[in-house]
Structure 1
Amino acid sequence: MGSLRSFIKAVRKAKTIADERAVIQKESAAIRTSFRDVGLDQTTRRINISKLLYLYIMGEKTHFGQVECLKLLASPRFADKRLGYLACMLILDENQEVLTLLTNSLDNDMQHHNAYIVALALCCLGNIASPELARDLYTNVETILDSKNNFLRKKACIVAAKLVEKEPDLSEFFLPKALDLINEKNSSVLLGTLRLIEALYYVSNENRPALTKAIPKIVGHLKRVTTMGYQPDYDVMGTTDPFLQVSLLSGIRTLAIDLPFSEEINDILTQVVSNLDSGKNAANAILYECVKTIFAIQSDQSLKILGVNILGKFLATKDNNTRYVALDTLLSIVNIEPLAVQRHRSTIVNCLTDGDISIRRRALELSFGIINEQNIRVLAREILTFLEECSDQELKSYVTSQLTIAASKFSPNDKWHYDTLIRTLKAGGNALTPDITSNILALILQCNDQELKKHVVSRLFASCLEDENQFALALVTTWTLGEYGDLILGTSVEAGEKSEQVTEGRIVDLFEQLLDNSTYSAQELLQLTAYVLTSTLKLSVKFKNSSVIEHLRRIINSKTYDSNLEIQIRAVEYQEIFGQDAALKRGLLGKMPAPPVKERESLKLHKTSNHHKRNEGGGSGTASAAISTNSTQDDLLLDLIENDDAPGTASNDILSDIFGDSNPKSQSSNNFNGASANEIVAFENANVKVSFVPKQFITGDAIVEAIIVSKSSTKIDQFQLLIAVPKTQKLNITSTSGGDTLISRQSQIRQVLKVSGKPGSKLKLRIKLKYRLEGDAIVEDQFDFAGFKESL
C-alpha cells in the first residue's frame, strides 16, 4: 500500500468521475483487507486511518474503520493517539454503538501524566459525548477542574458544559465548581468557566438563583480587564483581551436577562463603551456584544440610545461585515427604540444601493421596519427607486408586498396612496402576487371620490401605454378600463414624452396590443385574455361610436374559436350577451360592488434562530435542553404540534406513534381520581393550571396523571392536550376524562399516561395546550417538563 500523499495524487489525477470512483474503491478494498491482518503494525494502521479520514472528507463510507480507530488509541505514542482521537471525533458520533468501547481509552488518557494526551481525550469527549459517556466520565472532568494546569482546566470547563447539556442531572456536580472557578483571574480559565456557567443557566431553572449571585464577580472581572494597561500576551490590535471581554459581556447578558435594573451593570457597560476605539475589528466585536447586552437586560434609556448610536457608527464604516451586523441588530431592536433608529434613516437608505446583496436585503427590511406616517413619502420613493433597478424576482415580490402594506397603513392621503400603488405596479413587473393585485383592484372599487377615481384610471392607462409588458399593470388597467373607462374619455394623458388623447378607439387599440403581446407566459396571456373579454363586453354598453362597438364585437368573435376551452366558452357566452337588448345589457353589465380589502401580514426576508429561548409561562429549561439532543426529533414534533386540524385525542395518538407505541385503551380513570399530596405544578397562567401526579415508577416504566384545571372566569372549550416524549421513550395514553370543555373553576380534564424507557433515565415531556376562551380566538401554550424526582 502507498502513502496518503500518493493516494491523494491518484485521486486528483483521475480525469473522469468513473476513474476517481475506481481509485477510491480500489483503495477502500485495500484498507479493508489490511484491517483484517491480525499482525497489522501501528505505522500501517496509522496510514490506513489517515486515508480513511480523507475518504470521510470526500463523503465516502468509513464505518468499517471505526474499531481500528479505537485500536490506534491503545498505542502509547502521541502521534497515534492524536490521529486516533481525530478519527473518532469525525467518524463516530453519540449514536454509534461502538462508542461504549471508547470509554476505557478516555478514562485512561484523562488520567495520563502527559497534559497534551489529557487534552486530546477531553476534546474527544466534548465532541462526541453521549448521555451515557457523560455519566461514566464526569468524575474525570471534575478531577481535572481541580488541577493546577490552566490549559487543562479551561478545556475541562468547556467539556463540562457539553456534558451538562447532554445530561442535565450532572448540574449538581459542576455548579459548585463553576461558582468556585469564577474567582480565578487567569484568562483562559475564565473563558472556560463562563461557557460552563451559560450551559448551567440554560439547562435548569433551579441553577439560576445561585448563578445570578456570580454577576458582581463577572462585573468585577470586566472592570479589571477594561482598566488593565497594555498586556502583550492578550493584546489584539490595541484592545486588551477582546475574547475574554466578549465572554464576560455574554455572561452578564445571560445571567441578568430577567433581573431588575442594575446601576452597577449599566455603569460597567458605559465604561466599556467609552474606553474603546471603534476603528478596529477587535473593539467592534466588544461594542457589538455591549449593544446586545444593553437591549437584552433592563438598561437605562440613555444607554439604549448610546447602543443605537454605536450601530449607527458601524453603518458608516467601509467594512461589509460590520455594516451587515449593524443592520441585522437594528432590525431586531427597531421596535424597542424606534425614534433612536430613525435618526440613522439616511444611512440606512444609502445601504439600499450597496454592492453587497446581503446588505441591500437587510437595509430593505430595516427600511420597512422604520416606516411611519412622517417618513412614508421619503422612504417609499427610495424603495420604489430600488424596485425599479432590482433584478432579483424573489426580492421584488417581497418589496411589492411590503410596500403595498406600508402604503395602506401610513399613506398621508388617498391620492398619494393610489399613485404609489400604480408606480409599484409599473416597477414590480411580474413579481406582484395575485393577492396584491386583487387588493389593489378592491381599493379602486372602494374609491367614492369620482375625481380621484378618474385620476387613478388616467394614471393606469398612461402607465400601460408607456410599458405594456408589465403583466400586473396590464391586468389592473384592463379591469379598470372595463369598469370606469368612460370616465376618462375626451381627456389627455402623458405617456412617456408625448401627450395622448383618450378616445374609445385608443382604448380598444390598447386591448389588441395586449392580446398580441408575446412577452407574457401562456398562463398570463390566458388570464389577461379573460380580463380583456370581460372589459370589452362591459365597454360595449358605455361606448357610443358604432364602429368602435363593432370592433369590440370582433374581438369577442375572434376568441370563439380559441384553442383554450375556457376562453372559447367565455367568448361564446359573451357573444350571446353582446347581441341582447341594450336595457338588459346595462342591467347585466352594471358596476361591481366593492369587495373587502384583505388584511395582509408583514413578511420577513430571513428566519431568526434563537439557540437559547427564555422559558415563558413557567416551562422547564431542563426538559428543553434534554429533549433537544435530537434536533430532527424536535422539528418533527413541532411540525406535528402545529397541526390545527387534528382533534385532541387523535393528535395525542399521532405523537405517540412517532415517539413510542400507542394503542390508547378505553378504561375508567376512577382509579386515579381525587387530589394527591405529591401533585407537581408544571405550568400555570391566568387561564389554566397543568399538574402532574406520579402514580407509579417501576424499573423502566412510569404511570403519570396529568390534571388540567381552569383558572379563568370564563368557559374554556375546544381543549386539546398534545404530549410527546423523546425517541428513547414510549408513550401510551391509557385514559382521558373531562371531555374538551372546562367550566370556569368547576371542572377539570385528566389524562393518564404510561411511559416506558431505559431504566434510570429521566422522564421528559413536551406538552402543547390548545384551547379557546369563550368569545376569543384560539390560545396556544407550549412547555417542556422534566421535574419528576423519580427516574424510570
Structure 2
Amino acid sequence: MGSLKTFIKSVRSSKTIAAERAVIRKESAKIRASFRDVQLDNDKRRKNIQKLLYLYILGEPTYFGQVECLKLIASSRFTDKRVGYMATMLILDESQDILTLLTNSLDIDMQSTNQYIVGLALCTLGNIASPELAKDLYPQVEKLIKSQSSYIKKKAILVASKLIEKDPMLTEVYLPYLNDLLSDKYHSVLLGTCYLINSIYYNDETSHETLKQLIPKLTTHIKLLITTGYSPEYDVKGIPDPFLIVSLLKSIRIILQNDSNSNHLESINDLLTQICSKFENIKGAGSAILYETVKTIFTINSDSSLKVLGINILSKFLIQKENNIRYVALDTLLQVIEFEPLAVQRHRSTIVGCLHDGDISIRRRALELTFGIMNQQNIKLLTKELLNYLKKEDDEELKFYITTQLSISCEKFNANLEWTLETMISMLNIAGNYCNDNILSSILATTMQVKNQNLIKKILTDMINTLKNGLFDQYGLSLVTIWCLGEYGDLIISKEISESLIIDLINSILAVANYSNDQQKVQIKIYILTTCLKLSIKIQNASLIEHLRKIINESKNDINLEIQSRSIEYSKIFGEPIKIKKGLLERMPAPLIRKHEGSSLLDRSHNVVIGNTITNNSSISNPTVDKGNILLDLLGDDVVKSKEKDSAIDLLSDIFGNSTINTKNNSPDINSSISNKKNDNILGLFNNNQSITVDKSIINSEPTSIEAFNDETIKVGFIEKDIGNGNAELEAVVKNINKDSNSISNIVVLCAVPKHQKLQLSSISKTVLTSNDFTILNIKITGNSGSKVKIRVKLSYVLNGSKVDRQFDFSAANALL
C-alpha cells in the first residue's frame, strides 16, 4: 500500500468522477484487508487511520475502522495516540455502543504523567462524552481541575462544563471549585471558568444564588483588565485580552438576567459605563467588547440613562463601513427597541439609510426596524421612503413583507382616510401583484368606510387613469378597481369617464390581464361577473347593458365550477325586473375593519430574558436553551390534543341543541359536581329547555400550590402529590391573575424533563381563562431513583389579541425520584 500523500494525489489526479470513485474503492478495500491482518503493527495501522480520516473528509464510509482507532489509542506512543484520538473524535459519537470500550483508555490516559497525553484524553472526552461516560469519568476530571498545570486545568474545566450538560447532577461536584478557579492568574483558566459558570447556570436552577456570590470576583477581573497597562501576552491592538473581557461580561449577564433586586446592580452599572467610555472609539476588538456591554445593559435591570447610552453605541455601529458591525447593530436594535423607543427614534435617518445597502441581510433588518420605529408622527415620512424603496427592490419576499406591514401600519397609526387610501393605491400601483387577500380586503373595507363621495370619486378616477396606462398586470390594482366600479360606478360616470370607457376597461382587464397563478385569474373573473351585474342598474345605455349580459352568459360553460355557478346565478338575476334588481344590488354596508397581526422577516424562535421580560431573541441565546426549545417543540402533540378537545366540546354543544350548562366559575372538578345531581335529567336530554346550573359554591376553590412563575398576567404553581421510588406525580395550576380583568385565550402548556427521565402530561382542560379562573394539568415523571425533579415549561397565551411566549424552569425543592 502507498502512503497517504500518494493516495491523495491519486484522488486529485482523477479526471472523471468514475475514476475517482474507483481509486477510493480500491484503497478502501486495501485498508479493510490490512485491518484483518492480526500481525498488523501500529505504524501501518496509524498510516491506514490517516487514510481513513481522508476518506471521512470525502464523505466515504469509515465505520470499519472504529475498533482500529481504539487499538491505536491503547498504544504507549504519543504519535499513535494523537492520530487515534483524532480519528475517534471524528468517526465516533455518543450514540454508538462501541464507545464503552473507550472508557478504560480515557481513564488510564487521564492519569498519565505526560500532560499532552492527558490533554488528548480530555479533548476527546469533551467532544464525544455520553451520559454514561460522564458518570464514569467525572472523578478523574475533578482531580485534573486541581492540577498545578494551567494547560491541563483549562482543558479539565471545559470538559467539566460538557459533562454537566450531559448529566446536570454533576453540578454539585464542580460548583465548589468555582471560587478558587476565579482566583487563578492564567487567562486560559479564567476563560474556561466562565464557560463552566454558564453551563452550571443553565443546567441547575438551584445554583443561581451561589453563582451570584461570584459577581464581585468577575467584576474585579474586568476592572483589572481595563485599568492595567500593556500586556504583550494577551494584547490585541492595545486591548488587554478582549476575549476574556467578553466572556466575563457574558457570565455576569447570564447570572443577573432574572435578578431585578440584586445588590450588585449599582456597581455593575458603574462598570458598564466605564467600559463604554474606554472603548467607545476603538474599532475591531473594541467593537466586540462594546457589543457585549450593550447586551449586558439591556439584559440586567440597568437604568434608563445607561440604556440610552447603549442605543447610541449601536447607532455608531450603523455608520461604520464594516457590514458585520452594521448587521449586529440592526439586529440588536430590533431586540431592544421596546425598552427605549424614543432613543432609537433619534437615529431614524441612519436606519432608513441602511435600506439602500447592497447587503440583503442588512436591508432585511433595516426594513423590520423601520416598521418597528414607525409611529403616528413619522408614518408619512417613513411611508414615502418605503414606497420609493419598493420601486427599486427586486426581492419578492421583501415586497410581500413591505406591502403587508405597510397596510397594517397605515391602519394602525393614521386616522386620515384620504391619506391612507392614497397610500394604499400608490402601493397597488407599484406592487399590486405582491398584495395578499388580507391586504386587498382591508383596502376595500377602508374604502367602504369613506362617507365623502367626492373622495371616492377621486380615488376611483385615479385608479382608472392608472389602468388606462397599461398596468393590467398589477393584480391588486385591477381587483380593487373592478370591485369599486361595481359599487361606485354611478359616481364617476361623466364626460371624462363615459359608460363605454368603463365597459372597455372591463374588457381589457378580462382579455389582457396575465397574472402569476390560476387562482388570481379565477378571482378576477369572479369579480368582473359581479361588477357586470351591479353595473346593469347603473348604466343607462341599452347596448352596453346587453354587452354586460353577454359577458356573464359567456362564462356559463367555464371549466371552473365557481365561475360557472356565478354566471348561471347572475344571468337569472339579470333577467329580473329593475325594482327587484335594485333591491338585490344596492351598495354593501361598510364592514368592520379587521386588525391583522404583523409578520417578521427574521426567525426569532429562541426565548431569552432581557430585563424582566422574555423576548424573542436569536443572537443572545445559549446552546442549552436551544436544546430545551427543540425538545419542547417536539411535544406539539399536546397542542393538537387541546384543539381536538375544544372542537369536541363544540360538537357536543351542537348535538344537545338548546341544552345549556351555566357555570359561574369553570373548574376541572365540574364533572364531579354535576354527577352529584343524580335526580336531574342528564344535560337536559329529556327536556331540551331544561338547563343545569352549577353554583360557584359547589366548585372546589383553587388548591394551594408552590408558585413557580408569575408575570402579573398568568401564574403557574405546582402541587407535589407523590414523589419517590423513581416516580413523581405533580399537578400544575395555571391561573389568570390579570389586574385588568381581561380573559386569556389559546393557552398552551408544554413541559420537558432531562433525557434520563420520562414525562406524561395530561391535556389542558381549559384554553380560555377569565379573571381569577384557573385550570389544572396532571404531570407524571418516571426515572432513575435518586435523581432530581426538574421541569422546563414553555407557556404561551393570547392577551388582548397579542400572543405572549414564556419559558421557565421548576425544580422541586429537596425532592428526589
TM-score normalised to the size of structure 2?
0.83
Whether the 8 Å CA contact 2:632–2:750 is kept in 1: the answer is: no
- Distance in 2, Cα, partners of 1:418 & 1:717: 34
- Distance in 2, Cα, partners of 1:128 & 1:516: 66
Q: In structure 2, which of residues 720, 731, 735 is the aligned counterpart of residue 692 of structure 1?
A: 720
Taking a change above 3 Å as real, the CA distance of residues 282 and 785 of structure 1, as seen in their structure-2 partners, is same
Task: Say if 2:407 is the partner of 1:404.
Answer: yes
Provide the residue aligned with 2:523 in structure 1: 527
Structure 2 matches for 1:234-253, cutoff 5 A?
Answer: 234-253=234-253
The number of residues matched between the two structures is 745
Structure 2 matches for 1:59-458, cutoff 5 A?
Answer: 59-257=59-257, 258-260=259-261, 262-276=265-279, 278-411=281-414, 413-458=416-461
Residues 593-642 of structure 1: CA deviation (Å, up to 9, x unaligned): 22322211111111125486699999xxxxx9999868764431246446
Taking a change above 3 Å as real, the CA distance of residues 185 and 642 of structure 1, as seen in their structure-2 partners, is farther
Structure 1 residue 340 displacement after superposition: 0.7
Whether the 8 Å CA contact 2:301–2:612 is kept in 1: the answer is: no
Structure 1 residue 581 displacement after superposition: 2.0
Provide the residue aligned with 2:509 in structure 1: 514
Q: Which runs of 5+ in 2 are unaligned?
A: 615-621, 649-671, 673-703
Letter in 2 for 1:106: L
Residues 472-495 of structure 1: CA deviation (Å, up to 9, x unaligned): 11111111111112212227xxxx
Provide the residue aligned with 2:708 in structure 1: 683
- Distance in 1, Cα, partners of 2:371 & 2:320: 22
* Partner SS state of residue 502, structure 1: coil
Structure 1 residue 682 displacement after superposition: 6.9
Whether the 8 Å CA contact 1:696–1:704 is kept in 2: the answer is: no
Q: In structure 1, which of residues 471, 479, 487 is the aligned counterpart of residue 491 of structure 2?
A: 487
Provide the residue aligned with 2:538 in structure 1: 542
Whether the 8 Å CA contact 2:85–2:124 is kept in 1: the answer is: yes
Whether the 8 Å CA contact 2:239–2:285 is kept in 1: the answer is: yes
Task: Say if 2:670 is the partner of 1:645.
Answer: no
- Distance in 2, Cα, partners of 1:771 & 1:281: 42
Taking a change above 3 Å as real, the CA distance of residues 563 and 705 of structure 1, as seen in their structure-2 partners, is closer
- Distance in 1, Cα, partners of 2:382 & 2:748: 45
Taking a change above 3 Å as real, the CA distance of residues 410 and 693 of structure 1, as seen in their structure-2 partners, is same
- Distance in 2, Cα, partners of 1:633 & 1:691: 24
Residues 428-460 of structure 1: CA deviation (Å, up to 9, x unaligned): 232111111111111112222222222221232
Whether the 8 Å CA contact 1:540–1:549 is kept in 2: the answer is: yes
Whether the 8 Å CA contact 1:11–1:24 is kept in 2: the answer is: yes
* Partner SS state of residue 516, structure 1: helix
Whether the 8 Å CA contact 1:485–1:539 is kept in 2: the answer is: yes
- Distance in 2, Cα, partners of 1:503 & 1:101: 90
- Distance in 2, Cα, partners of 1:312 & 1:750: 47
Letter in 2 for 1:327: L
What do you get for the CA RMSD once the two structures are aligned? 3.7
- Distance in 1, Cα, partners of 2:296 & 2:510: 60
Provide the residue aligned with 2:597 in structure 1: 601
Taking a change above 3 Å as real, the CA distance of residues 330 and 705 of structure 1, as seen in their structure-2 partners, is closer
Task: Say if 2:533 is the partner of 1:551.
Answer: no
Structure 1 residue 383 displacement after superposition: 0.9
Structure 1 residue 44 displacement after superposition: 2.0
Provide the residue aligned with 2:482 in structure 1: 478
- Distance in 1, Cα, partners of 2:159 & 2:69: 21
* Partner SS state of residue 40, structure 2: coil
- Distance in 2, Cα, partners of 1:556 & 1:747: 57
Structure 1 residue 184 displacement after superposition: 2.1
Residues 315-355 of structure 1: CA deviation (Å, up to 9, x unaligned): 01100000000100111111111111111110110110111
Whether the 8 Å CA contact 1:166–1:626 is kept in 2: the answer is: no
Provide the residue aligned with 2:498 in structure 1: 503
Residues 187-240 of structure 1: CA deviation (Å, up to 9, x unaligned): 111111111111112222221112111111111111111112122221112222
Structure 1 residue 288 displacement after superposition: 0.6
- Distance in 2, Cα, partners of 1:596 & 1:744: 27
Letter in 2 for 1:704: E
- Distance in 2, Cα, partners of 1:727 & 1:155: 26
- Distance in 2, Cα, partners of 1:743 & 1:365: 34
Whether the 8 Å CA contact 2:749–2:764 is kept in 1: the answer is: no
Structure 1 residue 104 displacement after superposition: 1.3
Letter in 1 for 2:511: D
Structure 1 residue 743 displacement after superposition: 12
Whether the 8 Å CA contact 1:709–1:745 is kept in 2: the answer is: no
* Partner SS state of residue 812, structure 2: coil
Residues 561-595 of structure 1: CA deviation (Å, up to 9, x unaligned): 44444333433433333333222221221112223
Taking a change above 3 Å as real, the CA distance of residues 250 and 336 of structure 1, as seen in their structure-2 partners, is same
Taking a change above 3 Å as real, the CA distance of residues 25 and 613 of structure 1, as seen in their structure-2 partners, is farther
- Distance in 1, Cα, partners of 2:367 & 2:130: 44
Structure 1 residue 729 displacement after superposition: 4.2
Letter in 2 for 1:474: S
Whether the 8 Å CA contact 2:330–2:365 is kept in 1: the answer is: yes
Moved more, 735-744 or 529-538: 735-744
TM-score normalised to the size of structure 1?
0.85
Residues 515-568 of structure 1: CA deviation (Å, up to 9, x unaligned): 122532433222211111211121121012333323323333433444444333
Letter in 1 for 2:538: K
* Partner SS state of residue 327, structure 2: helix
Whether the 8 Å CA contact 2:718–2:730 is kept in 1: the answer is: no
* Partner SS state of residue 158, structure 1: helix
Residues 53-78 of structure 1: CA deviation (Å, up to 9, x unaligned): 22323333322222221111112222
- Distance in 1, Cα, partners of 2:368 & 2:389: 12
Whether the 8 Å CA contact 2:723–2:816 is kept in 1: the answer is: no
Residues 271-323 of structure 1: CA deviation (Å, up to 9, x unaligned): 11111253421110001111111111121222111111111111011000000
- Distance in 1, Cα, partners of 2:101 & 2:624: 24
Provide the residue aligned with 1:654 in structure 2: none
* Partner SS state of residue 598, structure 1: coil
Provide the residue aligned with 2:583 in structure 1: 587
* Partner SS state of residue 539, structure 2: coil
Taking a change above 3 Å as real, the CA distance of residues 98 and 611 of structure 1, as seen in their structure-2 partners, is farther
- Distance in 2, Cα, partners of 1:116 & 1:134: 21
Structure 1 residue 361 displacement after superposition: 0.4
Residues 653-706 of structure 1: CA deviation (Å, up to 9, x unaligned): xxxxxxxxxxxxxxx9xxxxxxxxxx9947365655322233540xxx425354
- Distance in 2, Cα, partners of 1:23 & 1:641: 53
- Distance in 2, Cα, partners of 1:422 & 1:742: 42
* Partner SS state of residue 787, structure 1: strand
Moved more, 342-351 or 464-473: 464-473
* Partner SS state of residue 634, structure 2: helix
- Distance in 1, Cα, partners of 2:229 & 2:250: 23
Moved more, 42-51 or 342-351: 42-51
* Partner SS state of residue 540, structure 2: coil
Provide the residue aligned with 2:472 in structure 1: 468
Q: Which runs of 5+ in 1 are unaligned?
A: 492-500, 619-623, 651-667, 669-678
Whether the 8 Å CA contact 2:421–2:459 is kept in 1: the answer is: yes
Whether the 8 Å CA contact 2:759–2:779 is kept in 1: the answer is: no
